[in-house]
Chain A
Amino acid sequence: MNFQAIQGEGWLLTKAEQLINWGRSRSPWPFPYGTACCGIELMCALASGYDMARFGAERVAFTPRQCDVLIEAGTITKKMVPVLKRIYAQMAEPKWVIAVGACACTGGVFRTYSTQQGIGSVIPVDIYIPGCPPRPEGILYALLKLIDKIEADHPLYKQRQKVVEALEAGK
């Protein structure tokens, strides 16, 4: 690719970004990390009745390597924290995280010795959903918000910055 095209806000780059965003936002494959009560509501959201597949979350990936969105539904205890970190590390880029429910957001009612007070301190979270548990509509709304976020993203920008930095360092 021409150096000029990468450096400027060229036509090729922006169109390519749009194409990538279109592809990513139409197929956010979820990884259902349901640990507690919210997992049941997540199940309802995935099943008939609410049908999350309408918004592109068609294929529920049961392995972290093949998913885009980690839907963390339920309490994370201190015993579970290393597992959660590892699952997040296993996911391929790009990856997003939705924290479902009060426990995942802040620890909720369980302010005790064994509960992690919110997963935000362990892994980066994109969308928080309050509620104990949130309704399936809440989970669908969060997915739509995430799609908006993906569409506003600049996936090639970071890539370009890296190339520019490398070229400048090489001069």
Chain B
Amino acid sequence: MSLKERIKECLEEDLLELTEFRGDLCVEVPKNRVLEVMSKLKKEAGFDFLSDVFGVDNLDLYAAKAKKAKKKTGEEEEEEPKKKEPPPPRFEVMYLLLSLSTNERLQVKVRVPEDDMDVPSVTGIWRSATWPEREAFDMFGFRFKGHPNLRRLLMWDEFEDHPLRKDYPLEGKGEERHLNYDTV
């Protein structure tokens, strides 16, 4: 049985989307079912190793797509502006899983809207998610529910923005770090 079929059988209705690109499988699962899906994948499908957890910001991707779509429709004819659909969730959290027995890899994608940044933490299943989740909080602002120690990891504690978001400028906003030695 191929990996695709096994994943389909294992996840059943939790599987929202399954894509394949250059042999890399990527499955999308609903946000509130992350913990159940992960423990199912670990126990039933044999994905017992978590390689990495990180975030992706899709802001620019959607903007580019909207621009393209506008260009296309604009060339054909001037149409009445369609009723606006609710925008797709801005962020994604990616989990990279690995099966040590069969050496298969799987990417699990969870879409996270901007107004609800809570994501269940998988640190209870794999402890290797501890720092990657902290980094994702630092860089994107996801709030991992159930994480033992959700603090900034790479930037200093007083830093306010989330640098890897697409609307944060590359050269920063001129933040400086000052230490108050008397209080530390």
Touch between A and B in complex, CB under 8 Å? yes
- A81 contacts the other chain (CB 8 A): yes
Q: Is the interface of A mostly helix, strand, loop or mixed?
A: loop
Within 8 A of A (CB), among B154-183: 154-156, 163, 168-173, 175-179, 181
Tell me if B179 and A114 are in contact (CB < 8 A).
no
Tell me if B177 and A113 are in contact (CB < 8 A).
no
Q: Select one of B163, B179, B181 contacting A113, CB under 8 A.
A: B163
Number of interface residues of A (CB under 8 A): 9
Closest residue of chain A to B157 (Cβ to Cβ) is A79
Tell me if A113 and B178 are in contact (CB < 8 A).
no
Contacts of A114 in B (CB 8 A): 154-155, 163, 172
Contacts of B163 in A (CB 8 A): 113-114
Contacts of A112 in B (CB 8 A): 170-172
Interface range for B: 10 to 19
Contacts of B168 in A (CB 8 A): 113
Contacts of B171 in A (CB 8 A): 111-113
> How distant is the Cα of A86 from the Cα of B168 in the complex, in angstroms?
30
Closest residue of chain B to A79 (Cβ to Cβ) is B156
Distance in Å from the Cβ of B133 to the closest Cβ of chain A?
20
Tell me if A78 and B176 are in contact (CB < 8 A).
yes
Contacts of A111 in B (CB 8 A): 170-171
Distance in Å from the Cβ of A138 to the closest Cβ of chain B?
28
- A82 contacts the other chain (CB 8 A): yes
Tell me if B177 and A81 are in contact (CB < 8 A).
yes
Contacts of A113 in B (CB 8 A): 163, 168-173, 175
Tell me if A82 and B178 are in contact (CB < 8 A).
yes
Please, what's the 1-or-0 string for A53-84, where 1 marks a CB less than 8 Å from any CB in chain B?
00000000000000000000000001101100
Contacts of A78 in B (CB 8 A): 156, 175-177
> How distant is the Cα of A1 from the Cα of B172 in the complex, in angstroms?
57
Please, what's the 1-or-0 string for A111-130, where 1 marks a CB less than 8 Å from any CB in chain B?
11110000000000000000
Distance in Å from the Cβ of A78 to the closest Cβ of chain B?
5
Contacts of A79 in B (CB 8 A): 155-156, 177
Q: Select one of B170, B173, B179 contacting A82, CB under 8 A.
A: B179
Closest residue of chain B to A117 (Cβ to Cβ) is B171
Contacts of A81 in B (CB 8 A): 176-177
> How distant is the Cα of A113 from the Cα of B161 in the complex, in angstroms?
11
Distance in Å from the Cβ of B126 to the closest Cβ of chain A?
28
> How distant is the Cα of A86 from the Cα of B169 in the complex, in angstroms?
30
Distance in Å from the Cβ of A28 to the closest Cβ of chain B?
29
> How distant is the Cα of A114 from the Cα of B139 in the complex, in angstroms?
12
> How distant is the Cα of A81 from the Cα of B176 in the complex, in angstroms?
9
Please, what's the 1-or-0 string for B135-169, where 1 marks a CB less than 8 Å from any CB in chain A?
00000000000000000001110000001000011
Tell me if B175 and A82 are in contact (CB < 8 A).
no
Contacts of B178 in A (CB 8 A): 82
> What are the 5 tightest A-B residue pairs by CB atom distance, in nearest-first order?
A113-B172, A82-B179, A79-B156, A78-B177, A113-B163
A residues with a Cβ closer than 8 A to B are 78-79, 81-82, 86, 111-114
Can you report 16 A-B residue pairs in the complex whose CB atoms are below 8 A from each other? A78-B156, A78-B177, A79-B156, A81-B176, A82-B177, A86-B179, A86-B181, A112-B170, A112-B171, A113-B168, A113-B173, A113-B175, A114-B154, A114-B155, A114-B163, A114-B172
